[in-house]
Structure 1
Amino acid sequence: MTRDFSDVHDDLRAVARDLLGEAGPDRAAGWKAIAESGWAGLEVPEALDGSGATFAEVAVVLEEMGRAAACSPYVGAAVLAVGALNLLEPEPGRDELLRGIATGTAVPAVVLAGDTSSAVATEPPFRLERSPRGLLLHGDAAFVPDAVEAGRLLLPALAPDGAPVLVDAGPDADGIRVTSQPLLDATRNSGRVTAHGAVVAEEAVLRFAGDPDAAFRRLGDRAAAAIACDALGSSEAMLDATVAYAGVREQFGRPIGSFQAVKHACADMFVKVAVARRLVEAAARALSAGDPGSWVAVSMAKSYACEAAVDVAGKAMQLHGGMGYTWEGGVHVHLKRAMLDRSLFGSPAAHRRRIASRYR
């Protein structure tokens, strides 16, 4: 992402590609292997057994996960949970959970609804209210990444004073229900989390440091940027696979890659991937630097990269011919993943509307 750390990123990318390539889309890269590789604790402070890195390094891993169509709880547990915990006021419980993620003993998930109609959620999906029984939690969030496998839930909620907070709860707590939601994309899991009057202890309410509204919006931006990274990796995989196939598949006694129409199609795919890479890198840099205006770069990356991924995967299916429509070919895996990426955490149209709001 930056010239100073390009060698580090190249090494990280090579290791991730080897490990995830061994897993493949039909076999998940285990959480233990991910934790042992150090990816889970990339953004965890070094004092808490992490690497003290930034989102730029996380983006490298996310891209490779998209390239391999990997099935893992990395987005929910490492990207969103670590990001959310780093935004909280320091306290022993927070530090213990961060250390648990870095060492692989904890697998939490942040309950952000993936089916938001806007670019990012404008307010938390849950709310806390006071009652004679204490604090009660109400709310509902659908298509939450990795919620089904999570051992802990971090639920964004509006406190009685109107400030966004995080509620630390177990998935089997009374009043909280987690149900699996089927997806067309078989490489990932998603769940619906509902809370109907769940009693919450005061110490389970975690406060954001600084401006809580800005912190909650930043969490939504991290989710959108993570999906954009995944879409970029998937696009690159489809481009590479299609170019390789066009070089060996023959028709009329010559490789189909020698036909002008196929060359033009591959060139169009290459341009889309190149532009998406620039936008995703800009978003990762802005988030890593804590830029207050990073939301613009994030929405640009999310809107373009996810739409481009669907186009690239669709073109890959066409250029693979009949093989592109077979189950064994594997192109369908990336097409379905790209279609889910396009919808998660704001559609391209929603993010374009968000960008356009700067001029109103």
Structure 2
Amino acid sequence: MSELDLLYSEVEEDLRATVRGALADRCTPAAVIAMYDGDRSAVPGLWKTVAVELGLAGLLVPEAAGGAGASAREAAVVLEELGRAVAPVPFLTSAVIATTAVAGTGAALLGELAAGERVAALAVPLTTGPDAPLPALDLTADGRITGAVTSVAGALEADVLLVPAGGGLYAVPAEHARIAPVVSLDMSRQLADVAFDGAAGELVVADAEPAVRAGLRAGAALLASEQVGLARWCLAETVAYLKVRRQFGRVVGGFQAIKHRLADLAIAVDNGVAAARHAAAALAADDPDVPVATAVAASFCGELAVTAAEEAIQLHGGIGMTWEHPAHLYLKRAKADQLALGAPGSHRARLAELVGLPG
């Protein structure tokens, strides 16, 4: 495996501070909790802040196409902060997965995505891993798309859907599809079932499979950074709480058993940071070890985030079980992320194949 710099650069840390500051002002836990009661009014304004005001929608788009010309390293930092805030924005689905799928095509759509003028979603189930079978939608003789896809992430925010059909990848306006919201475990990234009844679309990629798999691989590699950001929040908030919570006349954080649990979690978070950073750095450098780095990060960080969220709820005690406390938002996002873009078990199986381990 080649050597890659896993340290955060000064530019990346400045980007982190900018994103964190914006989210602190405009993405409160109360606004995210309201989404579980059907109030999604916070999403458009927050996405405008992230995509347009901060210019982050075009991070992975070359400057010649109207983007920032940044790399997966910068996108990973953004996802860490979005995970830290459980931000309900379609950055992963539009600015990473969909954008990567149409990168290098020269399509006008790429520039529109970079400018934040349009939002796209790849019409595949969220659980689809980079090497998993892809949905097969039909293309009629006159170029119309028919078929259905379940559990699509980002479809509710998208105004254009990227649909693999008949071997190609088509851009279909969202109004030409039937999009049915699904009550999801993580309502901050709500899923939807999408159906096409003779929808017309524009061919953007002649050979869909490599493009779709590139988007899914980028998504899986960078989702690990979102999971790391989530785990870091859980650890930091839990430590801060246990420093002031008293029980039996003592600060709870002073109990040896609690210290052991926090130490184990801190070590796991550090390991997760290393795995996620390696996946992002490999993707940015177009390193041949991207599949291996992705499988390692996805399998480890998927379980890390769930563990961190579970520990946060348990170690907060009774308050961690309440609706008002944001800990449940992190458990729901963590569990949904664990199943997204390939479950940890499927990534471990793929890793075994890549490095030649016996089944």
Q: Distance in 2 between matches of 1:318 and 1:123?
A: 38
Q: 1:287 is aligned with what amino acid?
A: L
Offset of residue 13 of structure 1: 0.5
Matched, 1:103 2:115: yes
Q: Distance in 2 between matches of 1:328 and 1:284?
A: 34
**Residues 135-154 of structure 1 mapped to structure 2, 5 A cutoff:** 135-154=143-162
Matched, 1:188 2:200: no
> What residue is the counterpart of 1:355 in the other structure?
351
Matched, 1:33 2:49: yes
Q: Distance in 1 between matches of 2:303 and 2:28?
A: 24
**Residues 1-360 of structure 1 mapped to structure 2, 5 A cutoff:** 2=5, 6-22=9-25, 23-27=27-31, 28=42, 30-34=46-50, 35-86=52-103, 88-90=104-106, 94=107, 96-116=108-128, 119-131=129-141, 134-159=142-167, 165-173=168-176, 176-200=177-201, 204-207=202-205, 213-358=209-354, 359=356
Q: 2:165 is aligned with what amino acid?
A: A
Q: Is the 8 A contact 2:71 2:284 kept in 1?
A: yes
Q: Distance in 1 between matches of 2:290 and 2:182?
A: 31
Q: Is the 8 A contact 2:155 2:179 kept in 1?
A: yes
Q: Is the 8 A contact 1:36 1:103 kept in 2?
A: no
Q: 1:191 is aligned with what amino acid?
A: A
Provide the alpha-carbon RMSD of the alignment.
2.0
| Count of aligned pairs | 339
CA deviations 1:105-152 (Å, max 9, x no partner) are 111212221133xx4354432334442xx1232333222111012111
Offset of residue 212 of structure 1: 5.8
CA deviations 1:301-332 (Å, max 9, x no partner) are 11110111111111111111111111122111
Q: Is the 8 A contact 1:121 1:217 kept in 2?
A: yes
Q: Distance in 2 between matches of 1:257 and 1:101?
A: 47
Flag the 1:106–1:53 CA change in 2: closer, same or farther, 3 A: same
Could you state the TM-score of these two structures normalised by the residue count of structure 2? 0.88
Q: Distance in 1 between matches of 2:119 and 2:259?
A: 45
- Where 2:187 maps in the other structure, the secondary structure is coil
Could you state the TM-score of these two structures normalised by the residue count of structure 1? 0.88
Q: Is the 8 A contact 2:98 2:215 kept in 1?
A: no
Q: Is the 8 A contact 1:81 1:109 kept in 2?
A: yes
In percent, how many aligned pairs have the same letter? 38
Flag the 1:233–1:212 CA change in 2: closer, same or farther, 3 A: same
CA deviations 1:174-202 (Å, max 9, x no partner) are xx3211111122222221122244344xx
Q: Is the 8 A contact 2:127 2:343 kept in 1?
A: no
- Where 1:187 maps in the other structure, the secondary structure is helix
Q: Is the 8 A contact 2:102 2:211 kept in 1?
A: no
Q: Is the 8 A contact 1:25 1:71 kept in 2?
A: no
Q: Is the 8 A contact 2:102 2:205 kept in 1?
A: no
Offset of residue 5 of structure 1: 6.3
CA deviations 1:274-313 (Å, max 9, x no partner) are 1111110111011111223311111111111011111111
Flag the 1:214–1:296 CA change in 2: closer, same or farther, 3 A: farther
- Where 1:281 maps in the other structure, the secondary structure is helix
Q: Which runs of 5+ in 2 are unaligned?
A: 32-41
Q: Distance in 1 between matches of 2:348 and 2:204?
A: 33
Offset of residue 69 of structure 1: 0.8
Q: Distance in 2 between matches of 1:101 and 1:214?
A: 20
Q: Distance in 1 between matches of 2:283 and 2:182?
A: 30
Offset of residue 213 of structure 1: 4.2
Flag the 1:46–1:199 CA change in 2: closer, same or farther, 3 A: closer
> What residue is the counterpart of 1:162 in the other structure?
none
Q: Is the 8 A contact 2:222 2:276 kept in 1?
A: no
Q: Is the 8 A contact 1:24 1:69 kept in 2?
A: no
Q: 1:67 is aligned with what amino acid?
A: R
> What residue is the counterpart of 2:34 in the other structure?
none
Q: Is the 8 A contact 2:100 2:214 kept in 1?
A: no
Flag the 1:224–1:123 CA change in 2: closer, same or farther, 3 A: same
Q: 1:66 is aligned with what amino acid?
A: G
Q: Is the 8 A contact 1:126 1:137 kept in 2?
A: no
Q: Which runs of 5+ in 1 are unaligned?
A: 160-164
Q: 1:181 is aligned with what amino acid?
A: V
Q: Distance in 2 between matches of 1:288 and 1:188?
A: 25
Q: Distance in 2 between matches of 1:290 and 1:321?
A: 45
Q: 1:83 is aligned with what amino acid?
A: T
